[in-house]
């Protein structure tokens, strides 16, 4: 501190001091850059799979969604046993947020969902919501309205199929 | 002017040199250039070891990642933890029950992980309560305390919870000898020699479930049992306990328990003890102790008081226990990975004695005794001694092993860790610690198979190590890289409570088997609510049971009326979420209680006794979604004697304007 004051009293010194400071600043800046570079090198991809929030993902099929289901065999007409089982499960795991009418609660109402979406899309979405929330343009639009990401409720394949059957019953399939 | 400046600079430089010289043990000369990289774990990357560190007077166990030193979780064990509702929720209160009633605190000194074939298997970690003697088992699938068992006839459960190589037994040895529970304890304190006894307990552990049970106790002379370790390999079937205060003093132990040149390491042949138990030599003694266990199915704990324990008498059965003389109040009592060498650390001694298991066996076979101590044969010191490490340092406390023939001993008084070779007893390396190191930990360092990459020193004093925080300062851990010939300090971090002993294990042995959610279908809680359709409020006399659910981002019901002053209200909150890392919290204004923190699929209960009529908000305390701030409700409390009936609802009284 004292040294600086003494230097600045000397009319020949300020210029040199500015130069020095500038040089120092450049050094610090370049060091900083180097650090960033090495950090980028040592940092690997994070473990979660939230890396690509994109509408541009060419491999995403908006009709099928993303998940293990490609085709769903609906059979002839409604399977009442499965629909009843689906009703029981949705009472525990879904009804807190979804009404069976078209009225929105936390999430959208279920009325008409089987007409708007393919069976495979529904089964993929309810068993594998996170990647689809990140990739599906219509789900992203829905998220802007509801603001709550649909939770993964840990449904088994059978439970998901039964819920689909209940949704079909809810939409008037006999 | 110039000469003055020069002089000033010279004096300044000299002062720096002097300051450094006066204080040799500071960071600048203990840490070299590339050390940061060795402890660096990039954001998003995992540590390679879990480290379970005793919380000392916090009563808890803290879990760190190594080598980063990141604090991952504090597991509540013997002390209440309002953050997690531990000891506050109705479900967890029984876990802290004892024969003295509900005890909200203890002093957890040592951790020990379960082993199979002498190797850490990553299933459970055990902890001891030093004050009100207990042993706890923590399930490493959930990182929660699953079981706590109290120890009768004991006080100061210090030489615990060390285990045998297949987790057949967890051991507890009493530090403060006392008259046995069923004897008259109301005696003059200076009758220590006649009336006080030291009990050691063998707690059996179920191979599959882990359930603990006191298999038997051995009544021993009244001394202070300090630490212990199981034999392994060839010495499997034996247990070794360090004892001090063999002078049997009951006052000013600082002086009176340091009179004798040698105290003892007590060797216990527990296979022999098992034979005596089978032969019916155990005496059934009436006692009272609590056994508490937690169920992940009912999400509830139960506490039962047990009333009997089997006791063997070391005076009558003279081929179970043997005393080996050990210099100056031994603390650590550590068995090397081969099971042949037993290292005693006399905390006031200037040498480290290393005993040989083979020599001990032949000394016993040939009755090379030096008399008896309170009915227990005393083996001749030289007959059991392999050799002594000469001038290792001041105040040896505890030794861990690297499995490559080396031992590492902590020195409290000289604040250092010393590496020495077991075979030739030569000192190989020494490093300073900051300051006053207690225990050490090498991953697997007390098992048959150490993983000797790191060594952690746990220090009592941190004065001048971190930014000061008033009179009370943190204790600390210092991490050393021991993969080379020389130990190198690579990290220094403050810890929770006072860390005594710790265990560490490769992350792979634990991380894959983590429970992420509790399946709502499997929830067998007596007051579970499986879906909002079942949410309700039920009055039973002056008890009101609220069957409540939580999901992002509302409670059901969230409007409750008809509750009265004088009622006991039980909020049984079931978290309907089935996704990892989505707990909900629950709190209500004015409750003389903590919060609940409810994991997905779990049910927890908060008891609330309102004392004044009025309006009481309740809300979710754990940020759960973008609409977390909306996750709230109201309970109306009416005066005692009011006629308001119970009413509950969700989403019914939407204001006109928003319809």
**CA separation for the pair B23, B432 (Å, rounded):** 12
Q: Which tokens in the block code for residue B610?
A: 């309102």
- Closest partner CB to A91 (pick from B517, B533, B577): B533
State how far Cα B520 lies from the chain centre: 31
Least Cα separation, residue B523 to chain A (angstroms):
12
Suggest the residue from A131, A152, A154 to mutate for an interface test with chain B (most B CBs closer than 10 A).
A154
DSSP state of B471: B
Suggest the residue from A153, A156, A159 to mutate for an interface test with chain B (most B CBs closer than 10 A).
A153
Interface of B with A in 131-170 (CB under 8 A): none
Average pLDDT over residues B91-109: 98
Asked if B454 and B442 touch (Cβ cutoff 8 Å), the reply is yes
Burial profile A47-73: b = 16 or more Cβ within 10 angstroms, e = fewer: eeeeeeeeeeeeebbbebbbbebeebe
Q: Which tokens in the block code for residue A174?
A: 């006999």
Query: What pLDDT does residue A59 have?
Result: 86
- pLDDT tens digits along B15-31: 444 333 333 444 444 56
CB contact under 8 A, A96 and B627: no
> In whole angstroms, how far apart are CA A53 and each of A125, A149, B311, B409?
16, 14, 66, 53
Residues of chain A with Cβ-Cβ distance to B554 below 8 Å are 96, 106
Least Cα separation, residue A89 to chain B (angstroms):
9
Q: Quickly state the pLDDT bin for B349 (edges 50, 70, 90).
A: confident
**CA separation for the pair B353, B341 (Å, rounded):** 10
Nearest alpha-carbon partner for B476 in B489, B490, B457: B457
Q: Which tokens in the block code for residue B445?
A: 């360092």
Beta carbons within 8 Å of B617's beta carbon, 6+ residues apart: B588, B589, B632, B633, B634, B635
Nearest alpha-carbon partner for B199 in B180, B219, B229: B219
Domain ranges of chain B: 55-70+77-511, 520-650
Least Cα separation, residue B215 to chain A (angstroms):
42
**CA separation for the pair B135, B153 (Å, rounded):** 14
Asked if B643 and B570 touch (Cβ cutoff 8 Å), the reply is no
Interface of B with A in 492-551 (CB under 8 A): 517, 519-521, 530-533, 549, 551
Residue B15, H or E segment = helix B2-22
Class in CATH terms, B520-650: mainly beta
Residues of chain B with Cβ-Cβ distance to A97 below 8 Å are 551-552
Cα separation of the two ends of chain B: 85
CB contact under 8 A, A153 and B533: no
- Scanning every residue of chain B, which has its alpha carbon at the shortest distance from the alpha carbon of A48? B44
Q: Which tokens in the block code for residue B79?
A: 């002390």
Q: Quickly state the pLDDT bin for B397 (edges 50, 70, 90).
A: very high
CB contact under 8 A, B42 and A47: no
CB contact under 8 A, B551 and A96: yes
Asked if B159 and B175 touch (Cβ cutoff 8 Å), the reply is yes
- Scanning every residue of chain B, which has its alpha carbon at the shortest distance from the alpha carbon of A94? B531
Q: Is A1 on the interface with B (CB under 8 A)?
A: no
Average pLDDT in chain B? 94
- Scanning every residue of chain A, which has its alpha carbon at the shortest distance from the alpha carbon of B516? A154
Least Cα separation, residue A96 to chain B (angstroms):
6
- pLDDT tens digits along B545-584: 999 999 999 999 999 999 999 999 999 999 999 999 999 9
CB contact under 8 A, A153 and B577: yes
- Closest partner CB to A148 (pick from B44, B552, B579): B552
**CA separation for the pair B61, B425 (Å, rounded):** 35
Residue B387, H or E segment = strand B385-390
Q: Quickly state the pLDDT bin for B301 (edges 50, 70, 90).
A: very high
Q: Is B631 on the interface with A (CB under 8 A)?
A: no
Residues of chain A with Cβ-Cβ distance to B44 below 8 Å are 43-47
**CA separation for the pair B103, B429 (Å, rounded):** 45
Least Cα separation, residue A76 to chain B (angstroms):
30
Q: Quickly state the pLDDT bin for B295 (edges 50, 70, 90).
A: very high
CB contact under 8 A, A92 and B530: yes
Beta carbons within 8 Å of B491's beta carbon, 6+ residues apart: B35, B39, B67, B68, B69, B478, B479
Asked if B230 and B171 touch (Cβ cutoff 8 Å), the reply is yes
Q: Which tokens in the block code for residue B28?
A: 């600048």
CB contact under 8 A, A95 and B43: no
Q: Which tokens in the block code for residue A102?
A: 């078209």
Predicted-complex ipTM score: 0.74
**CA separation for the pair A101, A96 (Å, rounded):** 14
Suggest the residue from B6, B518, B531 to mutate for an interface test with chain A (most A CBs closer than 10 A).
B531
**CA separation for the pair B442, B482 (Å, rounded):** 9
Interface of A with B in 92-111 (CB under 8 A): 92-93, 95-97, 105-106
Beta carbons within 8 Å of A45's beta carbon, 6+ residues apart: A51, B44
Interface of B with A in 548-567 (CB under 8 A): 549, 551-554, 556
User: Is A92 strand, coil or helix?
Assistant: helix
Q: Which tokens in the block code for residue B251?
A: 């006052």
CB contact under 8 A, B579 and A39: no
CB contact under 8 A, A154 and B579: yes
- Cα dihedral B318/B321/B324/B330 (nearest 10): -140
Beta bridge partners, B548, equal B573
Q: Is B304 on the interface with A (CB under 8 A)?
A: no
**CA separation for the pair B587, B608 (Å, rounded):** 10
CB contact under 8 A, B42 and A39: yes
Nearest alpha-carbon partner for B260 in B288, B223, B226, B217: B223
| SS (HEC) of B245-278 | CCCCCCCCHHHHCCCCCEEEEEEEEHHHHHHHHH
Any idea what the Cα angle at residue B113 is, between residues B139 and B326, rounded to 5°?
Answer: 145
Q: Quickly state the pLDDT bin for B415 (edges 50, 70, 90).
A: very high
Query: What pLDDT does residue B568 have?
Result: 98
Asked if B238 and B268 touch (Cβ cutoff 8 Å), the reply is yes
Q: Which tokens in the block code for residue A46?
A: 């994070």
Residues of chain A with Cβ-Cβ distance to B578 below 8 Å are 93, 151-155
Domain ranges of chain A: 2-42, 80-170
Q: What angle separates helix A157-170 from helix A119-127, to the nearest 10 degrees?
A: 130
**CA separation for the pair B505, B484 (Å, rounded):** 20
- Scanning every residue of chain A, which has its alpha carbon at the shortest distance from the alpha carbon of B42? A43
| SS (HEC) of B36-69 | HHHHCCCCCCCCCEEEEEECECCCCEEEEEECCC
* Sign of the torsion angle spanned by Cα atoms B364, B366, B370, B373: positive
> In whole angstroms, how far apart are CA B160 and each of A87, B11, B170, B240?
53, 56, 8, 12
Query: What pLDDT does residue B655 have?
Result: 55
Q: Is A143 on the interface with B (CB under 8 A)?
A: no
Q: Which tokens in the block code for residue A42?
A: 């040592």
Q: Quickly state the pLDDT bin for A48 (edges 50, 70, 90).
A: very low
- pLDDT tens digits along B610-656: 999 999 999 999 999 888 999 999 999 999 999 999 999 998 865 55
CB contact under 8 A, A152 and B533: no
Beta carbons within 8 Å of B467's beta carbon, 6+ residues apart: none
Q: Is A151 on the interface with B (CB under 8 A)?
A: yes
* pTM, full prediction: 0.87
Q: Quickly state the pLDDT bin for B177 (edges 50, 70, 90).
A: very high
CB contact under 8 A, A151 and B626: no
Q: Quickly state the pLDDT bin for A26 (edges 50, 70, 90).
A: very low
User: Is A97 strand, coil or helix?
Assistant: coil
Q: Is B647 on the interface with A (CB under 8 A)?
A: no
Q: How many CB atoms lie within 10 A of CB B538?
A: 13
Mark out the alpha helices in chain A (DSSP H runs): 2-9, 13-42, 80-93, 113-116, 119-127, 129-135, 137-146, 157-170
**CA separation for the pair A118, B183 (Å, rounded):** 77
For chain A, what is the largest distance between any 2 Cα atoms, rounded to a whole number of angstroms? 98
Residues of chain A with Cβ-Cβ distance to B625 below 8 Å are 147-149
Q: Is B13 on the interface with A (CB under 8 A)?
A: no
For residue B11, pLDDT over 50 is answered with no
Per CATH, the homologous superfamily of domain A80-170 is: Cytochrome c-like domain (1.10.760.10)
Beta carbons within 8 Å of A9's beta carbon, 6+ residues apart: none
- Scanning every residue of chain A, which has its alpha carbon at the shortest distance from the alpha carbon of B530? A92
Q: Considering chain B, what percentage of its residues have pLDDT values greater than 90?
A: 91
Average pLDDT over residues B238-265: 94
Q: Is A58 on the interface with B (CB under 8 A)?
A: no
Q: B524 — alpha (psi -120 to 50), left (phi > 0) or beta?
A: alpha
Least Cα separation, residue A3 to chain B (angstroms):
9
Q: Which tokens in the block code for residue B600?
A: 């997905």
For residue B231, pLDDT over 80 is answered with yes
- pLDDT tens digits along B33-77: 678 899 999 999 999 999 999 999 999 999 999 999 999 999 999
Q: How many CB atoms lie within 10 A of CB A16?
A: 11
Residue B28, H or E segment = helix B27-30
Question: What burial class does residue B2 get, using C-beta atoms within 10 Å of its C-beta: 0-12 exposed, 13-18 middle, 19+ buried?
Answer: exposed
Q: Quickly state the pLDDT bin for B319 (edges 50, 70, 90).
A: very high
- Scanning every residue of chain A, which has its alpha carbon at the shortest distance from the alpha carbon of B582? A151
- Scanning every residue of chain B, which has its alpha carbon at the shortest distance from the alpha carbon of A128? B579
Task: Return the number of CB contacts < 8 Å for A and B.
Answer: 69
- Closest partner CB to B533 (pick from A47, A95, A105): A95
For residue B603, pLDDT over 60 is answered with yes
For residue A34, pLDDT over 80 is answered with no
CB contact under 8 A, A154 and B578: yes
- pLDDT tens digits along B328-347: 899 999 999 999 999 999 88
Least Cα separation, residue B623 to chain A (angstroms):
13
- Scanning every residue of chain B, which has its alpha carbon at the shortest distance from the alpha carbon of A88? B531
Per CATH, the homologous superfamily of domain B55-70+77-511 is: YVTN repeat-like/Quinoprotein amine dehydrogenase (2.130.10.10)
CB contact under 8 A, A91 and B43: no
Least Cα separation, residue A158 to chain B (angstroms):
14
């Amino acid at each position: 501190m004292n040294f600086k004051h003494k230097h600045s009293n000397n009319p020949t010194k300020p210029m040199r001091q500015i130069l020095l400071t500038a040089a120092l600043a450049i050094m610090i800046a370049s060091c900083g850059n180097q650090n960033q570079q090495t950090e980028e090198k040592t940092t690997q991809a994070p473990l979660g799979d939230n890396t690509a929030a994109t509408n541009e993902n060419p491999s995403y099929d908006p009709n099928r969604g993303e998940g293990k289901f490609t085709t769903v065999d609906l059979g002839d007409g409604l399977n009442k046993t499965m629909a009843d089982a689906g009703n029981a499960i949705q009472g525990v795991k879904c009804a807190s947020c979804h009404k069976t009418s078209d009225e929105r609660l936390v999430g959208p109402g279920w009325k008409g969902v089987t007409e708007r979406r393919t069976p495979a899309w529904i089964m993929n979405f309810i068993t594998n919501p996170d990647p689809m929330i990140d990739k599906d343009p219509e789900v992203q639009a829905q998220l802007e309205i509801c603001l709550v990401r649909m939770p993964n409720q840990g449904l088994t394949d059978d439970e998901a199929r039964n819920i689909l059957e209940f949704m079909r019953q809810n939409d008037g399939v006999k | 002017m110039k000469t003055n400046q020069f002089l000033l600079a010279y004096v300044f430089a000299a002062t720096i040199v002097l300051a450094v010289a006066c204080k040799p043990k500071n960071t600048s000369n203990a840490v070299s250039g590339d050390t940061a990289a060795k402890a660096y774990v990039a954001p998003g990357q995992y540590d390679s070891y879990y480290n379970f560190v005793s919380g000392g007077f916090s009563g808890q166990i803290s879990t760190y990642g190594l080598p980063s030193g990141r604090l991952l979780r504090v597991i509540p064990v013997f002390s209440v933890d309002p953050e997690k509702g531990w000891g506050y929720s109705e479900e967890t209160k029984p876990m802290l029950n004892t024969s003295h009633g509900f005890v909200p605190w203890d002093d957890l000194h040592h951790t020990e992980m379960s082993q199979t074939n002498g190797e850490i298997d990553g299933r459970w970690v055990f902890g001891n309560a030093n004050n009100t003697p207990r042993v706890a088992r923590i399930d490493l699938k959930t990182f929660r305390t699953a079981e706590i068992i109290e120890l009768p006839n004991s006080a100061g459960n210090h030489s615990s919870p060390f285990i045998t190589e297949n987790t057949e037994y967890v051991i507890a040895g009493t530090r403060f000898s006392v008259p046995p529970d069923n004897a008259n304890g109301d005696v003059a304190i200076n009758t220590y020699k006649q009336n006080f006894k030291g009990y050691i307990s063998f707690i059996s552990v179920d191979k599959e479930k882990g359930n603990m049970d006191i298999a038997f106790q051995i009544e021993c002379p009244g001394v202070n049992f300090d630490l212990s370790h199981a034999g392994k390999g060839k010495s499997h079937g034996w247990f070794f306990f360090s004892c001090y205060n063999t002078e049997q003093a009951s006052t000013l132990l600082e002086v009176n328990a340091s009179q004798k040149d040698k105290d003892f390491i007590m060797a216990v042949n527990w296979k022999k003890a098992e034979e005596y138990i089978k032969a019916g030599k155990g005496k059934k003694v009436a006692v009272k102790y609590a056994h508490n266990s937690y169920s992940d199915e009912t999400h509830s704990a139960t506490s039962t008081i047990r009333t009997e324990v089997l006791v063997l008498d070391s005076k009558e059965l003279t081929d179970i226990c043997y005393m080996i003389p050990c210099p100056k109040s031994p603390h650590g009592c550590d068995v090397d990975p081969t099971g042949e060498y037993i290292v005693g650390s006399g905390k006031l001694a200037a040498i480290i004695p290393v005993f040989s298991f083979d020599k001990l066996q032949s000394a016993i076979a040939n009755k090379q005794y030096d008399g008896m101590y309170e009915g227990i044969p005393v083996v001749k010191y030289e007959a059991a001694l392999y050799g002594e490490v000469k001038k290792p340092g001041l105040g040896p406390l505890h030794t861990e092993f690297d499995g490559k023939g080396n031992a590492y001993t902590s020195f409290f008084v000289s604040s250092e860790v010393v590496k020495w070779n077991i075979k030739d007893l030569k000192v190989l390396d020494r490093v300073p610690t900051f300051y006053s190191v207690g225990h050490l930990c090498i991953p697997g360092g007390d098992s048959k198979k150490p993983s000797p990459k790191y060594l952690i020193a746990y220090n009592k004093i941190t004065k001048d190590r971190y930014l000061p925080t008033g009179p009370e300062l943190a204790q600390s851990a210092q991490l050393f890289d021991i993969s080379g010939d020389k130990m190198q300090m690579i990290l220094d971090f403050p810890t929770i409570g006072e860390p005594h002993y710790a265990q560490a294990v490769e992350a792979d042995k634990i991380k894959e088997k983590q429970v992420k959610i509790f399946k709502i279908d499997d929830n067998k809680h007596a007051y579970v609510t499986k879906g909002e359709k079942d949410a309700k409020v039920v009055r039973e006399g002056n008890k009101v049971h609220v069957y409540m659910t939580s999901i992002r981002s509302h409670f059901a019901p969230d409007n409750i009326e008809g509750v009265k002053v004088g009622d006991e209200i039980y909020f049984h909150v079931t978290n309907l979420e089935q996704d990892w890392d989505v707990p909900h919290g629950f709190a209500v204004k004015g409750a003389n209680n903590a919060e609940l923190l409810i994991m997905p699929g779990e049910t927890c209960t908060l008891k609330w006794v309102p004392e004044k009529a009025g309006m009481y908000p309740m809300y979710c305390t754990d940020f759960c979604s973008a609409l977390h701030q909306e996750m709230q409700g109201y309970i109306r409390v009416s005066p005692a004697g009011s006629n308001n009936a119970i009413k509950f609802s969700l989403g019914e009284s939407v204001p006109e304007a928003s319809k």
